[in-house]
Amino acid sequence: MTPGHCKGKAHRPEHLGIAGRRVLVSRKWSNKTLDDHRAERGEFVRQLLEQAGIQPSHGPQDGPYRWERPAPADPDVPPRPVLLLRAVAERQRWKAEYAAAQLAASGSPPGNCSATDDQAA
């Protein structure tokens, strides 16, 4: 094997910059599917929020749900811009809850990113 002469398609100059997998996918070495990884991350976040004493205002416990496509003239469906703004607000709320839980778990004040303690000279 000579450096720069890999037979793999991903390393050919004509394929550089094209999206795709460049590393071994985790399911080949962890035996987990994408759904398994997603569930594991979700459980980690739920445990972190629980440790911080934050009760999320969302989650699978709110169900069961029945999904159906609305009719184009359905009066119960808000306009698309309103739906998008609600989705953005929900995502911001989730992020704020997660940040608060991380802060509560770490116990360090925000803004102190130093690896060493500040000491007076």
Does this model's pTM top 0.75?
no
Q: What is the pLDDT of residue 108?
A: 64
Q: Would the pLDDT of 39 be above 70?
A: yes
What is the count of structural domains for the chain? 1
For 38-74, give one letter per residue: b (16+ CB within 10 A) or e.
eeeeeeebeebbeebeeebeeeeeeeeeeeeeeeeee
What confidence tier does 85 reach under pLDDT thresholds 50, 70, 90? very high
User: Of 97, 102, 106, 104, which is closest to residue 55 (Cα–Cα)?
Assistant: 97
Q: Would the pLDDT of 22 be above 90?
A: no
Domain containing 14 equals 1-55
Let me know if residue 32 belongs to a domain: yes
Let me know if residue 42 belongs to a domain: yes
Q: What is the pLDDT of residue 8?
A: 74
Let me know if residue 70 belongs to a domain: no
